[in-house]
Amino acid sequence: MTSQRRKTTLMGAAGLTIAALALSGCSGSGDDGGQVTLELQSAMGEDTPRFEALSALAQAYEDENPDVKIDVVPMGKDYEGDMKVRMASGDLPDLWATHGWSLLRYSEFLEPLQEQPWADELNPVLDTTMKNDDGEFFALPLTTDVAGILYNQKVLSDLGVDPASLGTIDAFDAALGKAKDAGVVPISSSGKDDWFAGNVADWLASGSYDESESDELAGGTFVDSGFEAMYSKIEEWAQADYFNPDFSAATSDDIATALGQGTTAFVMIQNNLVLSAQQFVPDAELGFIPVPAVNGDPEYLIGGEGVALGAWRDGENKEQALDFLNFLAQPENIGDFAGQDGNPAGLTGVDVDLGALADSYDQFFTPGDVRMVPYFDRAYLPNGMWNTLISTTSGIVTGQTDVDAAVSQVKADYGTLYGQQ
C-alpha cells in the first residue's frame, strides 16, 4: 500500500482549557492512600465487547498491582474534539486510544515505545502507518485493523450470491438489487451513530481515486473527480432505496442486531461489530468481503493501526502507564483482547480466536492476494475532514444534499483545513 505521510500540527488556544473537562477524569489524579490512579481514555462505547475486554484486563492488572487503579473511561460524544482541547491545554490522560492517529496526530505527546520489551514483535504490516523515519512508534497496537464489508452469510446464501464473486462494483450492485427484491435491507448505516456514515465514504474513497490522485490530495492539491464518483455511487444507492429506512434514527445496536438477524445484508464498518451482533444473535453466520472499487480498480481491504494505546510522555505516572502497556502486550492478554475485537493482534506470534470471521480472514487476508489500503482520511485528507465526510454522506443518504453540493463542501473544508496544518 502506498500513502504519503505528512506531519500534522495541532494548534489550540489556552482559553480552551475549561472545555477539557468534557473528557471525564483527570490525568495523574493523585493517589488515595498511596494508590496511583491512571486515567485511560478508551474511545470505546461502554457496552461494547472491546470495552468490556479492556476493562477486564485493567481489573486483572489491578489485582496484580493493588497500588494502581486504572480508570477506563468510555467514549464521549466527540472523542476527537475533546482530545484536541486537551492537547491544546496540556492536560492529557495518562493513557489514551489513538484511533489510527498515533503517528500523525499524537506522536509529539506520546512516549516512544521502540525500546519496550515487546517492540520487536510489532506486526510489520503496521510499519508504514505507525513508525516515523527514525523507526520510532508511539502506541501499543492491541489489534491490526483489517476491514472490509460485513455481510450475513445466510442472507447471501439464500440469494444465491457467492461472497467471493463480489469483487467488482457491478457485481456488488447486482447483489444489492437482489437483496432489496428479497425484502432484505441491502445496506445499513446510521446518521445517529454517525461514524457509520463516515465509514461509507472512507470505505469507497480508496476505490474512487487512483494512487497518483491520492498523492495529489495528500500534497495539498484538491482533486474532485474521486469525490464526484463516490458521492454519485452513494446517491445512486440512496435513490434505489438500498439504505435502511431508519438511517437517521438507527443506533449501533440496531445495526448489529439487523446484521445478526439477517434483516440487512451488508454493513460498512469495522469487524468488531460482528462481536456485538453475536451478543444479540449468538448463532449468526457472518463474514467480510473486500471492498469493490468504484473506479474499476482491483478490490481492496482497509487496514492499519487498530485499537492502540499510548502513554503521555510528560505524565507524572508514566512509568506505571508503561508497565500497564507491557502487561497488555503479554501474548495471552493481547490475544484475548484481539479475539474480543474480531481482528488479528498488533504483535506477531500471538494466537487469536477470530471466531465467525476466521474463514473470511483465511480467504481474503492471510494469503496476501488482496491489496491493503490505509484509511483514506488518515492518509490523504487534512485533519478535521472526518466530520465533513460524515455530514456530506448523511446528506446524500437522506436526500438533503446532492452530489455537487457535497463535493463543493468537501473542497471548501479541504482548503481551509489544509491551510491550518
What is the spatial distance between Cα 255 and Cα 270, in angstroms, rounded to a whole number?
A: 13
pLDDT value at residue 33: 56
Any domain includes 296: yes
Any domain includes 366: no
Q: Is 19's pLDDT higher than 80?
A: no
Do 88 and 48 share a structural domain?
Answer: yes
Any domain includes 4: no
Q: Is 65's pLDDT higher than 90?
A: yes
pTM: predicted TM-score of the whole model, two decimal places: 0.80
pLDDT bin (cut points 50, 70, 90) of residue 184 is: very high
Q: How many domains does the chain have?
A: 2
Do 231 and 100 share a structural domain?
Answer: no
User: In this structure, what CATH number is given to the domain that contains residue 88?
Assistant: 3.40.190.10
Do 170 and 64 share a structural domain?
Answer: no
Any domain includes 47: yes
Do 159 and 134 share a structural domain?
Answer: no
pLDDT value at residue 31: 46
Any domain includes 283: yes
Q: How many CA atoms lie within 13 A of 33 on its CB side?
A: 3
What is the spatial distance between Cα 343 and Cα 142, in angstroms, rounded to a whole number?
A: 9
Do 122 and 172 share a structural domain?
Answer: no
| Closest CA relative to residue 277, chosen from 46, 45, 48 | 48
Any domain includes 326: yes
Question: What is the domain extent for residue 400?
Answer: 146-303+373-419
Do 387 and 344 share a structural domain?
Answer: no
Q: Is 29's pLDDT higher than 60?
A: no
Q: Is 253's pLDDT higher than 60?
A: yes
Q: What DSSP string describes 287-311? A: EEEPBPBTTSPPPEEEEEE-SEEEE
Do 154 and 291 share a structural domain?
Answer: yes
Do 220 and 90 share a structural domain?
Answer: no
Do 390 and 328 share a structural domain?
Answer: no
What is the tens place of the pLDDT at every residue in 72-84?
A: 999 988 888 899 9
Do 208 and 317 share a structural domain?
Answer: no
Any domain includes 367: no
Q: Is 3's pLDDT higher than 60?
A: no
Q: Is 25's pLDDT higher than 70?
A: no
What is the tens place of the pLDDT at every residue in 146-176?
A: 999 999 999 999 999 999 999 999 999 999 9
Any domain includes 360: no
Do 201 and 282 share a structural domain?
Answer: yes
What is the tens place of the pLDDT at every residue in 91-102?
A: 999 999 998 889
Do 387 and 330 share a structural domain?
Answer: no
pLDDT bin (cut points 50, 70, 90) of residue 14 is: very low
When the pLDDT of each residue in the chain is averaged and rounded to a whole number, the result is 91
What is the tens place of the pLDDT at every residue in 299-315?
A: 999 988 899 999 999 99
What is the tens place of the pLDDT at every residue in 323-372?
A: 999 999 999 999 999 998 888 999 999 999 998 999 999 999 989 899 99
Please state, for a pLDDT cut of 90, what percent of the chain lies above it.
78
